[in-house]
Amino acid sequence: MTVVVVGAGIAGLSCARELVNAGVPAKVVEQTDKVGGRLASEQIDGRWVDTGAAYLTADDPGFLGRLQTWRIDGLAHPWTDTLRGQQGSGPMRWAAPDGLNSLAKDLARGLDVTLGVRITELPDAEAVVLAMPGPQARRIFADVAEQSWSPVLTAILTYARRSWPDFAGAFVNDHPVLATVFDDGDRRGDGAPVLVAHSTAGYAKEHSGGEKLAEAVGDHLGLSETPRIVTRYWPHAQPRPGRDEFARYGNVYVCGDAFGRPRVQTAWLSGRATARAILRQLGRDQSTER
């Protein structure tokens, strides 16, 4: 059986990995030049900065096991369970020394992944997995149910020195511009004077510049220095949570973090559930963790 997975984010990679582990060949096709989707990191001034997802959390045994494997391999580590603006202590947030994208690269290792190819129509395969936001999936297969997504603008703020009080990150509640801000030097463990701010959906819909985000961070943390600003725009960053683990339309499957609470764990679980549905169809269900 030929399975083509369109999208090399965490959901697509999880799906392909599960299929390959069960002995079913899977080809992954990705339109950008790197794997990971919003599990995104890039080098800025010679160091890795997380520009997409801010951290990972886990309350599913399978995904927690995946995190523990990455921890043993030195790819991930527990970071903090406390962020400003939250009620009490929250779940443990996990970070990665070389950026969260390094975890996607690890998941992709050994898979048949083709980068830089844009798919505009359904591939000719016995099963096709569209591992992407619904609006993108509908451009390939019009029968996909509509999903509601909100954008986010990310601003990477580099300062001359660290002049803020120690904090891992903060939820900025009820602010018109700023939703969250994270200390990337603390997250990375190198103490670099870098903050990463994420906008509200309303701000991202109307603005593309990061100056107001930087001003909001300065007001929130009491900073007077003007930072150097690099921005990244995510048009499909925050989905309205769905209920099912994935959607199926005949031999076409759709998966991703819209199928549950919008977080990395949800995407990983959705991709795995999709693969297991395909395996059941083949009579080759293998539900053991790997």
Tokens 């906008």, residue located: 199
Q: Give residue-wise pLDDT tens across range 119-147.
A: 999 999 999 999 999 999 999 999 999 99
What confidence score (pLDDT) does residue 2 get? Answer: 84
Q: Give residue-wise pLDDT tens across range 239-255.
A: 998 889 999 999 999 99
Residue 163 structure tokens: 């002049």
> At residue 72, does pLDDT exceed 70?
yes
Pairing outcome for strands 127-131 and 194-199: unpaired
Amino acid at 170: A
Amino acid at 271: G
What confidence score (pLDDT) does residue 261 get? Answer: 87
What confidence score (pLDDT) does residue 285 get? Answer: 55
What's the half-sphere exposure (Cβ side, CA atoms, 13 Å) at 170? 19
The 8-class DSSP code of residue 36 comes to B
Residue 145 structure tokens: 């149910």
What confidence score (pLDDT) does residue 288 get? Answer: 41
**Backbone φ and ψ of 228, nearest 5°:** -80, 135
What confidence score (pLDDT) does residue 282 get? Answer: 79
What confidence score (pLDDT) does residue 243 get? Answer: 85
Q: What is the pTM of this model?
A: 0.94
What confidence score (pLDDT) does residue 242 get? Answer: 86
What confidence score (pLDDT) does residue 18 get? Answer: 98
What confidence score (pLDDT) does residue 81 get? Answer: 94
> At residue 8, does pLDDT exceed 60?
yes
H helices present in the chain, as ranges: 10-21, 61-72, 101-108, 134-140, 184-188, 201-206, 211-221, 264-282
Q: Which structural domains are found in the chain, ordered by start? A: 3-43+101-148+240-282 (3.50.50.60), 149-239 (3.90.660.10)
Secondary structure class of 272 (helix, strand, coil): helix
What confidence score (pLDDT) does residue 289 get? Answer: 39
Residue 260 structure tokens: 């549950």
What confidence score (pLDDT) does residue 171 get? Answer: 95
pLDDT band, very low/low/confident/very high, at 284 (cuts 50, 70, 90): low
Residue 68 structure tokens: 């523990």
Q: Give residue-wise pLDDT tens across range 171-224.
A: 999 999 999 999 999 999 999 999 999 999 999 999 989 999 999 999 999 999
pLDDT, averaged across the chain: 94
